[in-house]
Amino acid sequence: MKQIFAAILAIVFIVSLITVSFTYSQVENEEKRLESDIQYRSSLLAGSLKEAVEPNFINKSDIYLQDVVERFVDNQRIAGLAITDNKGTIVAVSSALPKKISEAEQVAVDVMDEGAANGSFVTVENMKMYVFASPLHDADKKSVVGSLIVVQNAGYIDTRLTDIWKDNLIRLSTQAALVSLAIFLVLRWIIFAPISNFMTSLKVNKKGVSYKNKGIINNPIFRPLFKEVADMQKNLIEARMAVTAHARVQLEKLDSPWTSERLTAFMGDVVKNRKIFVVSNREPYVHTKDGTKITYHTPASGMATAVEPIMQATGGTWIATGSGDADREVVDSNDRIAVPPNDPKYTLRRVWLTEEEEKGFYLGFSNEGLWPLCHMTHVRPIFRKENWEEYKNVNEKFAKTVLQEIKKEKNPIVFIQDFHFSLLPRLIREKRKDVTIGMFWHIPWPNPEAFSICPWRKELIDGMLGADIIGFHTQLHCNNFITTVGRELESLIDLEEFAVTKSGHTTHIKPFPISIAFSKDKVEKEELVAEDEESKRVLKSLGINSKYLALGVDRLDYTKGILERLKAVEIFLTNHKEFIGDFTFLQLSAPSRTSIKEYQDFNQKVQQEVDRINNSFKKNGWKPVVFLNKHHGHDVIYPLYRAADVCLVTPLHDGMNLVAKEFVASRNDEKGVLILSHFTGASRELIDALIINPYNAEATSDAIYEAITMKVSEQKRRMRRMRDLVRDNNVFRWSAQFFKSLVELG
């Protein structure tokens, strides 16, 4: 509908512009005609009066002259007559004119000086007048003895011009209204309505449902186009049915690749009519304001990347914190919105947190307490009672929201994400016994001694044990959790089944190494060339033209080992001076939790270290480290993955780290080397990477040298094996395994 009004406005604007231009020209011509007419009439009148005035003026018959000027003022447009002597003094004037009219006297003086008749438009007592003066001569016609002044009312000229403008504008308004109505009817019923119906059919057909609209098929204008697209739709539906059928066949083949289609078929068979509800702190889509326009983006999140395919495959509801400044403007009265925005497949239910709740729950207890506690990177966890209270309050708020959403559902499935909602499984379980609850812990679980630092450790563990399954990235994290439960709570632990029974409820603890949606495995040569060109373009835009490129992609977080990585780069250049000028380390770091002091201090330390290293080695415009402290989309990161000779993924402690898998998946040229910290979950799978201890800067430096000098054949051998592993164990397989285990328990 906006497009229709835009078209109408554009046409009305053009018509108005033409009308105004025409009216301006008409007014200008009419003004010239009327002024020429009044000048001509004034000249004729003055000429006829001079014959009667000149002899009597010379004889100084003032009474006669006054009688003359009175007798001749009988035309409504003649405002009056006046006669002056050669000094400009009025000797006779019509009673309708003021005794002293300076404008007319000035015209008379000018005429007598020039010796020729002339006129001018002047304003007398706020009225537009035309003053015409003709010189009076003596009997010999040699000397100017005075002047005859004819004053005519010229106000009718402005009135006439105003009437033209009014008439044309009224005519324009009428035409614009009629044209707008005609355009609206044509666009709305002949063009917009058929296209709108056509879009509806496309959306319905996209879901695999056949939909036909006779109004579309019989439309004479668009019939050929709609017929062609209808044929394409038919082919797409048949192709989708074939893919779905193939996916169902592949369900029983464990060695076949997992795809979104296979996951959809699998979830339909396993979950059946049960509805899935995902709970997380971070939302999958964030709506923001861009001036008066509302846009959206997907936040950088491994969790969101992993869970999104599940929701798109199964529908359901995702419950998360609303964080965008336009989030409230796009939801309905129940705080819900259909997503993805361009192709809705499931519902996003937003929960609103106050500034105080955000500070205590997220910034405080979650990120100043649990985050450093679980990552064990020698950053002291901070636990405050007021933050714990907000953490409990927010968990209870989410529990109420979940219970509202599942109120009418029978045997629903709730999938809870990460450490923000440790208390949520128990809170839901106490109200609904029929709910099947899965929880995935996306960060490491520390050893029992480290976890015992938390003052509310028993409450956290008890809350988590309300779930039917708790998933971790690695078996080590599962082991740590089981051991922690044994030390902190009275419960029955079954090490054979890896399960904990407390208060009559059993929770299974299982490893589910998370992954990514693997990109297409094989590409044509032309596509490889195009991707290489895009990589060169991105590097050029960043001012990087070194022979060798090392890449780091992380949030700006103290757990990611960025400072240790920079130290390794410095040692590498110190030990291998032949690479000075030919080697660049590019660190992409998206800002993270910038309101927390530890992160502010860390950001400053990283920048200082980058400046120090660059000042030590830079020469001829080259600098060894390029540090970009801002968010970058996949359109920038993917070409850099492709361009890098080596990717450094060296966190001090991490649950999985999907950057490592993203780098591997991007290298369809099978080149490049991955340097990987053995403190990541990914190091248990990607054993063909160069595995290092990030605390040992010298060893990391040696790994950089080994990666830079590694033969291409060796790079391909390693990369090929890692790509096979990531492709076979992708995020779709991860989702299927988790939900298969969960549903089997419920």
Residue with tokens 């033409």: 18
CB 498 within 8 A of CB 483: no
Q: Which residue has the tokens 């991860």?
A: 734
Distances (CA, A) of 293 to 301, 344, 390: 25, 20, 34
pLDDT at 142: 73
Q: How far apart are CA 142 and CA 134, in angstroms?
A: 15
Cis amide linkage into residue 381, ω under 30° from 0: no
Determine contact, residues 563/601, Cβ cutoff 8 Å: no
The H or E element containing residue 413 is: strand 413-417
CA 5, distance to chain mean position in Å, is 24
Which of 639, 616, 624 lies closest to 582 in space, CA to CA?
A: 624
Query: What is the CATH number assigned to the segment(s) 2-159?
Result: 3.30.450.20
Query: Do the beta carbons of residue 211 and residue 200 sit within 8 Å?
Result: yes
The Cα–Cα gap between 338 and 317 comes to 9
- pLDDT for res 108: 79
| 10-residue stretch averages of pLDDT, the chain, 746 residues long | 73 82 86 86 82 69 73 66 80 73 74 82 80 82 81 85 87 81 73 68 55 54 61 58 48 64 83 90 92 84 74 89 94 94 91 96 96 92 97 98 95 96 97 96 95 97 97 96 96 94 95 85 72 89 93 94 97 96 94 88 95 93 93 87 96 94 93 97 96 97 98 97 93 90 86
State how beta strands 469-472 and 346-351 pair.
unpaired
Helix (H) or strand (E) holding 508: strand 505-511
Residues of the chain with CATH 3.30.450.20: 2-159
Residues 718, 723, 726: CA angle, nearest 5 degrees: 130
User: Considering the domain 276-352+395-511, what is its CATH architecture?
Assistant: 3-Layer(aba) Sandwich (3.40)
The SS3 call for residue 99 is coil
Query: Looking at residue 245, what is its pLDDT?
Result: 47
User: Contact 349/332 with Cβ under 8 angstroms?
Assistant: no
- The encoded tokens of residue 364 equal 């405080």
Cα–Cα distance list, 262 to 386, 518, 731 (Å): 47, 14, 12
Q: Is the pTM of the predicted complex or chain greater than 0.75?
A: no
Burial 269-285 (b: 16+ CB within 10 A, else e): ebbeebbbbbbbbbbbb
- Rounded-to-integer distance, Cα 318 and Cα 706, Å: 45
Greatest Cα-to-Cα distance within the chain, rounded to the nearest angstrom: 142
Nearest 5 degrees, angle CA 254-CA 260-CA 262?
40
Find the distance separating the first CA and the last CA of the chain, reported in whole Å.
48
CB 72 within 8 A of CB 53: no
- Residue 456 pairs with which residues in a beta bridge? none
- Helix or strand (DSSP H, E) at 312: helix 302-314
Question: What count of Cα atoms within 13 Å lies in the side-chain half-sphere of residue 510?
Answer: 18
**Helix, coil or strand: residue 149:** strand
The pair of structure tokens assigned to 351 is 């929960």
The C-alpha atoms of residue 703 and residue 194 are separated, in whole angstroms, by 63
Q: Note whether 738 and 512 are within 8 A (CB).
A: yes
Report which DSSP code applies to 378: S
Closest among 432, 433, 439 to 399, alpha carbons compared: 432
Per-residue model confidence (pLDDT) at position 687: 96
3-state secondary structure 464-506: HCCCCEEEECCHHHHHHHHHHHHHHCCCEEECCCCEEEECCEE
Specify the pLDDT at position 233.
60
Q: DSSP secondary structure string, 697-710?
A: HHHHHHHHHHHHH-
Q: What's the CA gap between 629 and 665, in Å, rounded?
A: 24
Q: How many CB atoms lie within 10 A of CB 145?
A: 15
Own/partner long-range contacts of 614-623 (Cβ < 8 Å, ≥24 apart): 616/570, 617/573, 617/580, 619/580, 619/581, 620/581, 622/546, 622/581, 622/584, 623/584
For the domain 525-729, what is the CATH superfamily, name and number? Answer: Glycogen Phosphorylase B; (3.40.50.2000)
Q: What stretches of 30-126 adopt beta strand conformation (E)?
A: 78-85, 90-93, 118-124
Closest CA to 150 of 63, 244, 53, 61: 53
Helical (H) or strand (E) element with 553: strand 548-555
Q: Is 79 helix (H, G, I), strand (E, B) or coil?
A: strand
Within a 10 A sphere around the Cβ of 381, how many other Cβ atoms? 17
Which residues neighbour 232 within 8 Å (Cβ) at sequence distance 6 or greater? none
User: H/E element holding 308?
Assistant: helix 302-314
Runs of H (alpha helix) within 633-711: 634-643, 658-666, 697-709
